[in-house]
Structure 1
Amino acid sequence: MKATATRPKIVVTGGGRGVVGHAGARLLADLADATGLTSAFSQALAGLRQRQGGHDPGRIAVDLAVMLADGGEAIADLAVLRDQSELFGPVASDPTAWRLLAGLDETALAALRAARAAAREIAWAQHAETRGDLPAPTVAGQDVPGLVLDVDASIVLCHSEKESATSTWKKTFGYHPLFCFLDNTGEALAGMLREGRAGSNTTIDHITVLDQALAQIPDAHRHGTPILLRSDSAGSSHGVLAHIRALRDRQHLDIRFSVGVAITEPVREAIRAATDWIGAVDVDGDLREHAEICEITGMVATDGWPEGTRFIVRRERPHPGAQLTLFDTIEGWRHQVIATDTPPGGGSIQYLEARHRAHARVEDRIRCGKDTGFGRFPSRVFAINQAWLHLALTGIDLLAWTQTLLLDGDLAKAEPKKLRYRLLHVAARITRTARRTRLAIAEHWPWTDTLVTAFGRLNALPRPAG
């Protein structure tokens, strides 16, 4: 039998000089500067500077966002940046960072949201100049035109008593935040921290998050670009849909919706009466086995729904272990219904139904977001945790901008964990020659060329004037 190869024997010592870890995280910090995020945060929080010569509050906020994007989970993880000043410069102490978070009231958070919007406008302009249009989401083998916004809520468990952490509808304990992500790029446009008992279909919360998300979209894209809002049935309240229609009528936004619909008795009757079933398609546009769809518009009462709303039902043979209602069990199919105001001519019902099913990608965004800051909240104080959520969303944006502006191939679509293992956590050696500081990444690291190319693209990005 062939013996398993052994690892080379090593002798471990201290005293290595010029070696730094998490070298790739410097890419995130420099991108925050290149997009104007750091300067915008500094201006937004200028009134919070505690003493002359102290740490810039905006820079502290950016360092926290970089730390979260890099995989940090607690304020103490700032030490990874702080203890490598030759790479990251001066970084605030933990108590200073705590004081900043404690000072971020709703006025300050509104200023930070405006600063993020300003930086996003620059990042999108840089993308337009260096790479062209923003990527388009693809469903059923087709590109979805314009921008696609996905709204969804998720429970974040708390394992200790925290302000406004309560029992949830899943009989757990924690918070129930609501988010809006941009499917085109993975950017986290908006988020609202809510107590655990907050309802899934709270109209005012959905409207607030939607409005905050739309405010993050640059004017050139918000007006004149088709926008699709997707949500599960929690976002299908008549108040939310009326607000969307008001945005179209009063603000002249080209915004449409695609939302889940609760299957009530009138809907069940329409499903039983439906006859024009056709095959459903999968993500590649091929027919999906044992799945059918049918439009039931006109067979369902539209009281309270915006004019022009269409209803599409999907039925599929249930897989083992699927949770079925009594109606599904009797019929032998698992049913889902969506409502959309995309008019006839905006695509086949197969495309419209597949377009809505792609809303499931938001669950992956939230799962990754829980590994990028909002899976754990640091404080017992609700306001501090709300500020922490905002900086976590900022960190998610930095990762998304890194991928859309600086990376290609698989890493441009990779989840944060892969980016950290491949790029952000790499070790390097710092040397200083001829008044220049050089960061040398290991020659045989498989992704050295990718990281070097990314830094080169970063340096070549057009910078905002002034």
Structure 2
Amino acid sequence: MQSSHAAARVSARFDDPNLVGYGGLAPVVRLAERCGLPALVDEHVRLPASTDGTGAFPAAKLMSLVGGMVAGADSIDDMDRLRHGGLPRLFSGVRAPSTLGSFLRSFSHGHVKQLHAVARRFLPELAAHTPLLPGADQVAYVDIDDTIRRTYGYAKQGAGYGYSKVKGLNALIGIVSTPLAAPVIAATRLRKGPSNSARGAAAFVAESIGTARACGASGLVVVRADSAFYGADIVNACRALDVRFSVTVRMNASVKAAIAGIDDVAWKAIKYPKAVWDQEGQCWISDAEIAETTYTAFTSKPKKQQVTARLIVRRVKRLNPAAVPEGQGALFDAWRYHAAFTDSPLSLSDAEREHRRHAVVEQVIADLKNGPFAHAPSGHFQANAAWLALAALAHNLTRAAGALASAFHAKATTATIRDHLINVPARLAHSARRLTLHLPEHWPWADNFTQLFDLVHTPPPTA
């Protein structure tokens, strides 16, 4: 690629009132309307009346915020991207960044809870209108994790140093996925930076499970989490709601003793990265092996809180035996051990493999941090909590649009969906009281865009 020979005579002017930088917002906003997002906001979000009108028309303001996030906004000032060229003709009710900032700062803890109620109801509507969670009636996974959103300066309410030794705010994320579908966000909570990962996690797990059930997860449901969430409250919350659990355990003395009691013949090699299939022996040659034993957890708790289930252990050859932590003993000289406590009904190899796939939650966290949650944009804690909830709404809406467009976009990152389907330049033309979007010729994903556009603009079937 090189500049045209006429490049010296090229000039640039921002003077076309009919151009739109985000042509893909039209079908995405239409999808949100068909799934009832504005109506849900009007029903559940009740902000106090004020002389400056901050609490008025919450649906228009929330739709502006979600639309901006879908288009790639990651700060309040970024919302100004919705007011260029022909966008005011394509959408009505777009609010200015200053109005949206005042709106977010008016949120209290109760109003953020109202926003969570909207999110809990909106995701099942998306799942009902789009192929968002195929296979949820057979198997679904609920993954819980938290992350630190780094902040700077001294003006952020709630910011502090947590487990990562980084100053910021703690975001608790609950996602739901299936073996056939990319993950979507079932619940969010913003907490102070120094918050313990498992603080309030039992109730959060219950909320995430409820949302997953509402999305059609009527079959096997497994809750997965890392060792920060290994505790009696969380495991018993899963059992009370009739779902399975798979939680990484901490290497305490009783877990080490249970691992030491596993017979050597019980270990079997697994298909691990760089594993080689031995045709003659009909087995995998790998540096990773798995085994399981029965284990009773939380023995320091009352009898009714103790749980007996499977302890699934994966061991990997230690490359540097000299690096064994002091006091570990001969058991850990040659191997590193990773254990998960689970009541999964799957076979040993399947249960261990599915537990490792808990890492899918990191994809969602990366999507959020590379998108609308790149910043905690306000100095007000509750405004940032509302921002996180809206970022989850935008994430799920983007995923639903991708699921309608193509099988590829159903599993693509939200950044890819934005680049291919949403940030599409367009020119507005008005004729016979109709608006037409003229999009770039030879756009590589034109067929996917057209499928999304046609599906959301087709009248819904009559009962």
User: What TM-score do you get using the length of structure 2 for normalisation?
Assistant: 0.86
Provide Cα deviations, 1:92-126, integer angstroms capped at 9, x if missing partner.
12221122212222332232222233322322222
8 Å CA contact 1:42–1:59 kept in 2: the answer is: no
Counterpart residue number, 2:195: 198
Whole-angstrom CA distance in 1 between matches of 2:92 and 2:171: 34
Counterpart residue number, 1:251: none
In the TM superposition, residue 348 of structure 1 has moved relative to its aligned partner by 1.3
8 Å CA contact 2:70–2:394 kept in 1: the answer is: yes
Counterpart residue number, 2:31: 31
Counterpart residue number, 2:362: 363
- Using a 3 Å threshold, how does the CA distance of structure 1 residues 301 and 72 change in structure 2: closer, same or farther? closer
1:279 and 2:273 correspond: no
Whole-angstrom CA distance in 2 between matches of 1:420 and 1:301: 45
8 Å CA contact 1:120–1:218 kept in 2: the answer is: no
In the TM superposition, residue 55 of structure 1 has moved relative to its aligned partner by 6.3
Deviates more, 1:148-157 or 1:287-296: 287-296
Aligned residue type for 2:150: L
In the TM superposition, residue 64 of structure 1 has moved relative to its aligned partner by 0.6
In the TM superposition, residue 318 of structure 1 has moved relative to its aligned partner by 4.5
In the TM superposition, residue 352 of structure 1 has moved relative to its aligned partner by 0.5
Counterpart residue number, 1:210: 205
8 Å CA contact 1:245–1:306 kept in 2: the answer is: no
8 Å CA contact 2:38–2:63 kept in 1: the answer is: yes
Q: Percent identity?
A: 26
Counterpart residue number, 1:338: 340
Counterpart residue number, 2:446: 448
- Using a 3 Å threshold, how does the CA distance of structure 1 residues 381 and 301 change in structure 2: closer, same or farther? closer
Query: Which runs of 5 or more structure 1 residues have no equivalent in the other structure?
Result: 138-143, 249-254
8 Å CA contact 2:71–2:418 kept in 1: the answer is: yes
- Using a 3 Å threshold, how does the CA distance of structure 1 residues 160 and 328 change in structure 2: closer, same or farther? farther
1:269 and 2:257 correspond: yes
Corresponding residue to 2:245 among 246, 257, 269: 257
Counterpart residue number, 2:281: none
Whole-angstrom CA distance in 2 between matches of 1:93 and 1:348: 55
Pairwise mapping of residues 356-395 of structure 1 onto structure 2 (< 5 A)?
Answer: 356-395=355-394
8 Å CA contact 1:155–1:176 kept in 2: the answer is: yes
1:18 and 2:18 correspond: yes
Number of residue pairs matched? 437
- Using a 3 Å threshold, how does the CA distance of structure 1 residues 104 and 295 change in structure 2: closer, same or farther? same
In the TM superposition, residue 359 of structure 1 has moved relative to its aligned partner by 0.0
Corresponding residue to 1:438 among 430, 436, 449: 436
Pairwise mapping of residues 42-57 of structure 1 onto structure 2 (< 5 A)?
Answer: 42-45=42-45, 47-48=47-48, 56-57=57-58
- Using a 3 Å threshold, how does the CA distance of structure 1 residues 86 and 55 change in structure 2: closer, same or farther? farther
Provide Cα deviations, 1:428-457, integer angstroms capped at 9, x if missing partner.
111011111011111111112211111011
In the TM superposition, residue 17 of structure 1 has moved relative to its aligned partner by 4.6
In the TM superposition, residue 362 of structure 1 has moved relative to its aligned partner by 0.5
Query: Which runs of 5 or more structure 2 residues have no equivalent in the other structure?
Result: 278-283
Aligned residue type for 1:192: R
Counterpart residue number, 1:221: 216
Corresponding residue to 1:181 among 175, 179, 199: 175
Pairwise mapping of residues 83-122 of structure 1 onto structure 2 (< 5 A)?
Answer: 83=84, 84-122=87-125
- Using a 3 Å threshold, how does the CA distance of structure 1 residues 427 and 356 change in structure 2: closer, same or farther? same
Whole-angstrom CA distance in 2 between matches of 1:372 and 1:319: 38
Provide Cα deviations, 1:272-325, integer angstroms capped at 9, x if missing partner.
332210122359998472110010215x6662565441101100125699x974
Pairwise mapping of residues 305-320 of structure 1 onto structure 2 (< 5 A)?
Answer: 306-318=306-318
- Using a 3 Å threshold, how does the CA distance of structure 1 residues 272 and 167 change in structure 2: closer, same or farther? same
Provide Cα deviations, 1:238-281, integer angstroms capped at 9, x if missing partner.
12112222223xxxxxx110000011123223323322101223
- Using a 3 Å threshold, how does the CA distance of structure 1 residues 54 and 231 change in structure 2: closer, same or farther? closer
Whole-angstrom CA distance in 1 between matches of 2:39 and 2:236: 38
User: What TM-score do you get using the length of structure 1 for normalisation?
Assistant: 0.85
8 Å CA contact 2:47–2:111 kept in 1: the answer is: no
Whole-angstrom CA distance in 1 between matches of 2:315 and 2:39: 52
8 Å CA contact 2:206–2:237 kept in 1: the answer is: no
Whole-angstrom CA distance in 1 between matches of 2:244 and 2:420: 39
In the TM superposition, residue 328 of structure 1 has moved relative to its aligned partner by 9.1
8 Å CA contact 1:188–1:393 kept in 2: the answer is: yes
Aligned residue type for 2:79: L
Provide Cα deviations, 1:185-208, integer angstroms capped at 9, x if missing partner.
421111111111111233xx2123
8 Å CA contact 1:166–1:196 kept in 2: the answer is: yes
8 Å CA contact 1:36–1:464 kept in 2: the answer is: no
8 Å CA contact 2:127–2:215 kept in 1: the answer is: no
In the TM superposition, residue 32 of structure 1 has moved relative to its aligned partner by 1.0
Provide Cα deviations, 1:368-405, integer angstroms capped at 9, x if missing partner.
1112322311111111111111111111111122123x
Counterpart residue number, 2:226: 232
Provide Cα deviations, 1:68-114, integer angstroms capped at 9, x if missing partner.
22221111111111232122323112221122212222332232222
Provide Cα deviations, 1:44-82, integer angstroms capped at 9, x if missing partner.
235556578996211211221221222211111111112
- Using a 3 Å threshold, how does the CA distance of structure 1 residues 266 and 43 change in structure 2: closer, same or farther? closer
8 Å CA contact 1:49–1:56 kept in 2: the answer is: no
In the TM superposition, residue 158 of structure 1 has moved relative to its aligned partner by 0.5
Counterpart residue number, 1:67: 68
- Using a 3 Å threshold, how does the CA distance of structure 1 residues 462 and 366 change in structure 2: closer, same or farther? same
Whole-angstrom CA distance in 2 between matches of 1:328 and 1:447: 58
Aligned residue type for 1:317: K
Counterpart residue number, 1:457: 455
Corresponding residue to 1:163 among 152, 157, 162: 157
Whole-angstrom CA distance in 1 between matches of 2:452 and 2:71: 16
- Using a 3 Å threshold, how does the CA distance of structure 1 residues 124 and 409 change in structure 2: closer, same or farther? closer
